[in-house]
Chains A and B, each alone.
Chain A
Amino acid sequence: MLPKSLKTTLTAVAAVTVLAVPATAQDKLKIGFLFPSPIADVGWSAELNHGRQAIEEHFGDQVETIFVENVPEGPDAARIMNQMAAQGAGMIMLGSFGYMNDGLKLAQQRPDMTFIHASGYKLAPNLGNFQSRNYESSYLVGMAAADVTETDTVGIVAAYAIPEVVGMINGFALGVQEVNPDVTIKVVWLNSWFDPPKAQESARALMAQQADVIYSLYQDTPSVVSVAEEEGVWVINTSSDMKDYAPNWLLASQIADWSTYFIESTQATIDGTFEGTAFWGGMADDTVDVKSWSSSISAETMAKIEAAAAAIRAGEFHPLTGPILDQEGTERLADGEVIEDGAMASIDWLVSGVETRIPQ
């Protein structure tokens, strides 16, 4: 079922997992990590794992990390968290939206521990969450997509229609429209973070509908990226730089770097100053960036992209600035109005110009 290269990677990763051994020293902070998919070389879990490695590097003997990969968002996740707690973990990183309720339950039972949760919306004094302002980099890659498309059709293979993903699609669409307002944007909702065969099928289906740029949005593997390379279609991906998987057809990679936030949260846990707040990391603090821009993007558009990137970094420009209409034609943001973080955290509408609806 899985491609061979992935299988090899999984085996290698499994071998690495052996290194995680229980603690001996009492004063060490033990940090548990739950990853929703196999760690592999690239992808969402790989980037979270880089954050884990950054913690180890920064704190050395002060901390010890344990991790479990490929944890389904179901009742087993609760058990793994509880086991980590029982084994003396003082802090847990919950690497997926679907761990929210179980994580919150455990956080309430264990006020002595701290928790950081990826992309959720519930908080507790000892449970904070972290979001990336990926819509910023989505805007930039959207501009590039509009530049290279010849069919004026771009396709998105999207994970779940949760606010983070919806926000990214909006950022992307607005970037596309900035360069070429006539481009049609189609979305396939995969309803999975990790389903390489289905992701590839969906990418092919979008290509069959004339899409000549595919946006692989939160697919934890390079599955879509390799299909695009095979078919000779432009591709953009999230989380990691995937240039190696599509040396000819990768348009750009949106990347996320959690090191700074993870290190800060760990320090706060050690110091006893942890607060359950929502962290928003963007281009300004280097949590979010774009790498491996293709040389096929026209110089004119590239200059526009660089200008937009600089404005976003400087806090002078927000991709979701009005006037913005949603798919129904209702005005969501008035002229000059900038969306607030609170509204971004619960966004459930797509901008006009995106053809596909949010599943109802």
Chain B
Amino acid sequence: MARFVIEARPERSVWAPIQVSLLAILLTCIGGSFLFMAYGVAPLKGLEAVFIDPLRSTYGIGEVLLKMAPLLLIAQGLAIGFRAQVWNIGAEGQLIVGAIGASLLAIQFDGTTSPLLLPGMIIAGMVGGMAWAGVAAFLRAQFNANEILVTFMLTSVALQLLYYLVSGPMRDPMGFNFPQSISFGPSATFPILIPGTRVNASLFLGLGVTVLALIFVQRSLAGYKLSVGGVAPGAAMYAGFSSKRAIWLALLISGGAAGLAGVGEVAGPLGMLQRNVSPGYGYAGIIVAVLGGLHPIGILFASALMALVYVGGDFALLTVGVPNAVTGIFQGMLLTFYLACSFLLTQRIRRITPETVPKGAPAE
């Protein structure tokens, strides 16, 4: 009887991760072409609208950079956890709590001109995100509760908390009952980097975290312990590395980074707290982390690409008239193709017939 087995490819190139990403992008473009054809749009025109048009104007580039900042932050944080096999799926919730934390300060100290307000908001947002992820870390470390479920479900809780706060305690008293906070003053918002765009200084938070992630992953002992704990828990234990510490560290880092992304939104393009804080950055961040091969530099490029897809989706909407669900479909295709390619580049499927079973193979 012939059967199929999946086995690791014996040789693996150091370039494999990059090949996988490029292949996934290529396949997404092909898949996208079919999508555009279904809507009666010439595929090249559609792809041009998504991938090229946003980069033709300063404003468009600014929008891409604006979207890139939160994705970069979230993905860098998540990747550190993912390398340690700690699966934080709830960055969206941590982002929301971070946004709430920062907004609390902005509302409390409305009207101040103190230069300390914005740094305070940054810290409050980070602490908020860490606290939200910390709940999952505590439950996992103490009771071995699955962090995938806990972080994911806590996102719903965060969302309801946000809805409650903006409809009540944190609502603008002069805002005619519309569920949003007051508009934040200049001392509670990030300065604009490029005039005529909405890109603001929160992009530096993302770039700063990228540098820190690079140092952490490549140079620090803590980073090393973290990935050993993830890849080989037995070896980590033998070496005396605490798995509990790894869980705490991974979740606090990713939660804090997501919280920072929340600060970037409320103190950036939103300038207030409202019900729509994030169009799903927390989930897109997962795709960015994976697409970037969980490597800080890879993530830098992946976040730029994902931001381009977000903005390009809107451009496609207006120039070629496809529905805005295109953005979501492109994101989904990127992740699916990446996972498939990455599997097939590291593993292979082999058909085994009785004749090809190598000698000395264990009998079933």
Contact = CB atoms under 8 A, between A and B. Distances in A.
B321 A79 contact: no
B318 A83 contact: yes
B333 interface: no
B262 to A, nearest CB: 13
B178 A162 contact: yes
B168 A360 contact: yes
A80 B316 CA distance: 11
Nearest to B174: A346
A122 to B, nearest CB: 11
A341 B324 CA distance: 38
A349 to B, nearest CB: 11
B177 interface: yes
B33 interface: no
Given A15-B39, A66-B318, A84-B318, A348 B276 contact: no
Interface residues of B, number: 37
A80 B274 contact: no
Contacts of B277: 74
B322 A17 contact: yes
Contact of B178 (A17, A19, A22, A97): A97
B315 A83 contact: yes
Contacts of B180: 98
B177 A68 contact: no
B111 interface: no
Contacts of B325: 14
B163 to A, nearest CB: 6
B319 interface: yes
B140 to A, nearest CB: 30
Contact of B167 (A14, A17, A348, A359): A359
A86 interface: yes
A83 B57 CA distance: 11
Contacts of B59: 82, 86
Interface in A137-195: 160-163, 166, 189, 191
A68 B318 contact: yes
Contact of B274 (A73, A189, A348, A359): A73
Interface in B302-342: 311, 314-315, 317-325
**Residue from B40, B176, B274, B322 having most chain A Cβ neighbours under 10 A:** B176
A73 B276 CA distance: 7
A359 B173 CA distance: 12
B270 A359 contact: no
Interface string A102-144: 0000000000000000000100000000000000000000000
Given A72-B276, A162-B177, A162-B178, A21 B321 contact: yes
A78 B323 contact: no
Contact of A72 (B41, B176, B279): B279
Contact of A18 (B41, B269, B276, B315): B41
Contacts of A86: 57, 59
Given A160-B179, A166-B177, A360-B168, A79 B311 contact: yes
B183 interface: yes
Interface string A14-37: 110111111000000000000000
B92 interface: no
Interface in A62-106: 66, 68-70, 72-76, 78-80, 82-84, 86-87, 97-98, 101
Contacts of A311: none
B63 interface: yes
B279 A68 contact: no
Contact of A163 (B168, B176, B319): B176
A75 B264 CA distance: 12
B270 A74 contact: yes
B21 to A, nearest CB: 26
B177 A14 contact: no
Given A18-B39, A163-B176, A191-B163, A75 B314 contact: no
Nearest to B66: A75
B275 interface: yes
Interface in A241-291: none
A106 to B, nearest CB: 12
Given A18-B320, A78-B198, A121-B176, 6 more contacts: A15-B39, A20-B318, A80-B318, A83-B318, A84-B318, A348-B176
* Minimum-distance CB pairs A-B, first 7: A74-B276, A161-B177, A75-B269, A14-B323, A18-B321, A20-B321, A72-B276
25 contacts: A15-B39, A17-B323, A18-B41, A18-B320, A18-B322, A21-B321, A22-B318, A68-B318, A73-B275, A74-B270, A75-B265, A75-B269, A75-B279, A79-B314, A80-B317, A82-B59, A83-B318, A97-B178, A101-B183, A121-B176, A160-B178, A160-B179, A161-B177, A191-B179, A359-B167
